[in-house]
Chain A
Amino acid sequence: MKAKITITGLVMALLLSAGPQGVLARDGFSDAVKTIEQFYHVKHRSIPLLARAGMKAVRTAAKIRGGEYKRLAEAGSVRVAFFEDQIFNSRGQIATFKASMYAALAVDWSPLVQTLAPGNEEQTYIYIREAGNKFHVLVVTIDRHEATVVQATIAPEILAQLMKDPSDMGKAVTEDATINDP
């Protein structure tokens, strides 16, 4: 009985010590989340799959320049982290944040599109990496009070269409991940 309690205690201690980093395996997604947290001193909230399913809105198809798709991301491939009701202020150092994001992701991700507007803190970072015959796309969107990190797997034919209008790609992928069914 005593041994059972000790093992349970050890398991709990391990789980607690792992913290959120243990839940988010070290990869591009968690690196991006961590970079935002460290630079802006904010905390994220992960949305579980079931909760995201409840967020489904009226829109059922993602309209992009190349046509209309029922869904951009591969089913079940989406990971989302939200930062809500927080203050994002880069204090004139938005280029440093861009460089930090690059440093955190550059090992196996390539930057595709980065847009920055320090006036209202609006930023979009799209990174990409090959995943077999598909692509992993990582989209970070930030504004004055909110931020979203989305990672999704996208088929090359959809990516090709998204690339026609790179400035709209971040919005399309984020909306697809947070509005449509996961």
Chain B
Amino acid sequence: MKKLFQNSWRLAPVLLLLLAGSVMTASAQGPKLQMDQLDLLANRASQTVDVKLDGRLLQTTFKFFSGKDRGDAKIKEVLKGLKGIYVKSFEFEKEGEYSQVEVDSIMSQLSGSTWSKVLTVKSKKDGQNIGVYLNMLGDQINGLAVLSLEPKELTVVNIVGPIDLEKLSELEGQFGVPDLGIEQEKTKKP
């Protein structure tokens, strides 16, 4: 009995994550992903980056990108209508520091009917596996998510609002969106 109790106690964080995952699946049909459950990975990661640019902030500052500067004009176009940019990235010293449970807590949200995978990039050499997902309502794009898995790195990017792959590539390296090197000619699902 004591052993059973000890084992149950040890499994508690995993069960909590699974429970959180199932609750999130039910509630996360919208374009904003729940990512806070990943925060505990910061204790094991060698480097954590957490960026939250909400819609109010984006739209308040959006008008200050001058149309005169070519770079700023492009940014202004990309940011137009966006309701949030959220990034969580964890780098680890060694492999196996994050588990499938953490990956599933994001994947379960992306398996909802409003999400569809539009791009897969796999690299055997680096063990990199990137999935790009779009949240659609009819013909309208409501958001985008990128899940990048590497043996020593886990990155989730969630952009809420009208965004496509072209705009995503404009944002790479800016506003906290990492340079993912996504090439558009890869697998494209209808």
Contact = CB atoms under 8 A, between A and B. Distances in A.
B64 interface: yes
Contacts, number: 78
Contacts of A113: 49-52, 176
Given A116-B42, A156-B60, A164 B50 contact: no
Nearest to A67: B69
A117 interface: yes
Contact of A166 (B43, B60, B62, B176): B176
Interface stretch (A10-18, A43-51, A91-99): A91-99
B140 interface: no
Contact of B61 (A95, A115, A156): A156
Interface residues of B, number: 27
A20 B4 CA distance: 50
A115 B48 contact: yes
A164 B174 contact: yes
A157 interface: yes
Contacts of B174: 164-165
A110 B54 contact: yes
Nearest to B62: A160
Q: Identify which of B40, B45, B48, B72 gathers the most chain A CB atoms within 10 Å of its CB.
A: B48
B175 A117 contact: no
Interface string A108-138: 0011111111110000000010100000000
A118 B92 CA distance: 11
Interface residues of A, number: 29
Given A95-B39, A116-B45, A117-B46, A128 B64 contact: no
Interface in A79-100: 92-95, 98-99
B57 interface: yes
B75 interface: yes
Nearest to B57: A128
B50 A111 contact: yes
Given A95-B43, A164-B174, A112 B48 contact: no
Interface in A148-181: 156-157, 159-161, 163-167
Given A160-B61, A166-B176, A112 B39 contact: no
Contact of A164 (B41, B54, B57, B175): B175
A143 to B, nearest CB: 14
Given A115-B49, A157-B64, A166 B42 contact: no
Contacts of A112: 51-53, 57
Interface in B144-190: 174-176
Given A95-B41, A116-B47, 19 more contacts: A92-B43, A95-B39, A95-B42, A99-B39, A112-B51, A112-B52, A113-B50, A113-B52, A115-B49, A115-B50, A128-B57, A156-B60, A156-B61, A159-B61, A160-B61, A160-B65, A163-B57, A164-B174, A166-B175
Interface of A: 66, 92-95, 98-99, 110-119, 128, 130, 156-157, 159-161, 163-167
